[in-house]
Structure 1
C-alpha cells in the first residue's frame, strides 16, 4: 500500500479541528468536547455531540491497512454484532462504515463504558470463554482474504531482523540479541511442530484484558484492529496470569465456557509460550518502527534505553526455557 508523504505528515499533525470537522461531515453536530483515548497505532477520540451521546472516532494510520483490510474487519465485527455477540462494531451510514475526510480515513463507533475484567474470578473467565467461543464459531466459517496471518515469520523472524538492521540496538547488546532470538525462534518453530497441524481461523488477534470492557451485564469486546488469521489459543492465552498452577486453573475455567460453542484442540496449548514470545518480539519491533512518530517517544520514554534492551534480551532468554516446557494442563 503506497502512502504519500503528506498523508503521514497530516496524520502526525491531526488535531481537534480536523477531528470535529470529520465527524460533522457525516451530519453529527459536535459540542466541541474531545477526549483522546488510549491508542497509539491509530488515533482514537471520544467526541461530544449536541444533542446526543458521545461517539468514538477512529482515524486510521496511513499505510497500516488497505481499505479492503479495514472493511473486512468491519464486516466481521458487524456480523458478530448481528448475532448478538457483544462486540463494538462500527456505525454504518448510507451503506458505508469507512469514511474519508481530506487525506484521513476514519470510522465512528458507539461509546461503550466498562471496567477491567476480574480475571481471578472463575465465572468471569467462563463467560469470556463463552464469548470467545462464539466469536470463533463464526471465525472458522471462512478465512480473511485481505488480512494477514499471525505466524513465526511475520511476528518473529521479521521483527528480529528489523531490529538487527534498524540501528536501535546498542552495539554491545546486538550480539546477544542475535544469539538469543535465533535460539528462541528455533524453540518457537519446534513448538509449532508439536502443535501441528495448526488450524487457522479469523481471530480478534489482540484479546488482552484492556480490550474487554466489563459491565454488570457482562463484557463488551472492543478494538478488532489486529484481527487476522491464527490459532484459536491466541484469543485465550492473554487472559491467563500467575504461576503455572494458576494459569492451568484459569485455562480450565476459560475452556469450560469456550467449548460450549467451539471445539478446542489441546495441541494448541503447546503454543501459549510460543505466542507470548512472538508478541514480545513483535512489540519491540513495533515500537522501533513507530519511533519517528512523536507520540511514541512521549508515551514510551523507557524504550530505546540501554536498560530496556538488556532487560528485553534477558526476558527473551527466559522464554526459550518456557517455550520448551510441557504445556498447561487442561482437565
Structure 2
C-alpha cells in the first residue's frame, strides 16, 4: 500500500480541537501528545477539568468493523469487572469520524509501571490475563486477523527485501539469513491451537499498576491467536528465570482458563515472527515523520549486521528445547 495512505499530515491541532468539539468535548488545557507511533494519541482536560485521552487511528490500518470489534471486546471485559481501558460511549457511539479521521475518546488513568520482577504483581497480571482469555475464548473476531505466517513473516519479508532504506551492501546477506530464519520458523510453527481473542501486544509497557491491580491498556493490536501470545512477552532473562515467571503468571491464570502446555513450543516461533514483523513495520511507516526520529538506526549498516547476528541467535533458539514449566498444572 502507498505509504501516503497512512499519513497524519492533515491532523493539525485545530482539526483535533474541531474533531472533539464535534462530539461535544471542548478542550480547556493540555493536548499533550502521548507516546504512540501507530496512531496519534493526546491527553487533555476538558472545560469541566476532566482528563481524557483521544486516539486518532492511523488511516487505512484497521477498517471501521475491525476497530469496533476491538471496542466491543474491551467493553465486554470492562463489564466483567476486568480492569481494562475501554472507549467512552458518546452519542451512543464509541467510534467517531471527522474529516476522514476515525477517533475514540478514553478516560485518562494514572498509575505506576508494572514491575515484572514483583511476584505479587505477576500473580495479579496472570489472574487478569486468565480472565481475559476466559472471555476471549467465548468467540473469535470476525473482522480482525488471526496470527499467522502470512501477516508476520511472508509479507514482512517482501517489505524488507524490497526496501531502499536498508544498505545495498547488506541486502544479499539479509536475504540469505532471513530466508534461513523463515524456513526454521516454518519447521517449528504449528496452527493446531484453539484461536481466541487476545490482547496480542501484552508487554509490560501496556500494563499499569494502580490500587493494587493491574490495568491493561491499548488493545489496538487485538486479534485471534494462541493464548501463549499474551504471556510470552512478559518473560525475560535466562530459561530458569523465565520458567519461574511463567509459573507465577499461570498459578492463578489456571483458575480461569486452562493453559495448553503444547503452546510452549510456540514461544520462540512467535518471538522470531515479532522480530521480523517489527522491522518491516518500521520500514513500512518510514515516511511518517515520527519514524526516522524514533528509529534513526534503521538505515545504519552496523545495525543490520547486529540484526543478522540476532537472526542467527533466534535460529538457534528455535532449534533448542522449548521452555518447560516448573510446576505441574
Q: TM-score, structure 1 length as denominator?
A: 0.94
Distance 1:266 1:214, change over 3 A: same
CA distance in 2, matches of 1:109, 1:273: 34
Following superposition of structure 1 onto structure 2, how do residues 181-192 of structure 1 map, counting pairs within 5 Å? Answer: 181-192=178-189
1:217 pairs, out of 212, 225, 231, with 212
Number of the residue aligned with 1:158: 155
Unmatched runs of 5 consecutive residues or more in structure 2: none
Number of the residue aligned with 1:178: 175
Following superposition of structure 1 onto structure 2, how do residues 1-331 of structure 1 map, counting pairs within 5 Å? Answer: 11-193=8-190, 197-330=192-325, 331=327
RMSD of aligned residue pairs (Cα, Å): 1.7
**Which range moves more in the overlay, 125-134 or 282-291?**
125-134
CA distance in 2, matches of 1:299, 1:188: 29
CA distance in 2, matches of 1:267, 1:309: 33
Unmatched runs of 5 consecutive residues or more in structure 1: none
Q: CA deviation at 1:169?
A: 2.5
Q: CA deviation at 1:58?
A: 0.2
**Which range moves more in the overlay, 226-235 or 297-306?**
297-306
CA distance in 1, matches of 2:30, 2:162: 43
Q: Residue deviations 1:64-123, cap 9 Å, x none?
A: 000000001100000110000000000012221100111211000000111211111122
Distance 1:3 1:69, change over 3 A: farther
Q: Residue deviations 1:185-236, cap 9 Å, x none?
A: 222222224xx62221110010010000111321110100000011100000
Is the Cα–Cα contact under 8 Å of residues 207 and 214 in structure 2 kept in the other structure? yes
SS in 2 for 1:34: strand
CA distance in 2, matches of 1:189, 1:263: 26
CA distance in 1, matches of 2:109, 2:178: 40
Q: CA deviation at 1:170?
A: 1.8
Is the Cα–Cα contact under 8 Å of residues 196 and 227 in structure 2 kept in the other structure? yes
CA distance in 1, matches of 2:193, 2:305: 33
Q: TM-score, structure 2 length as denominator?
A: 0.95
CA distance in 2, matches of 1:122, 1:228: 28
**Which range moves more in the overlay, 321-330 or 66-75?**
321-330
Paired residues, number: 326
CA distance in 1, matches of 2:130, 2:50: 31
Q: CA deviation at 1:3?
A: 9.0
Q: CA deviation at 1:184?
A: 1.4
Q: CA deviation at 1:8?
A: 5.1
Q: CA deviation at 1:182?
A: 1.7
CA distance in 2, matches of 1:63, 1:248: 40
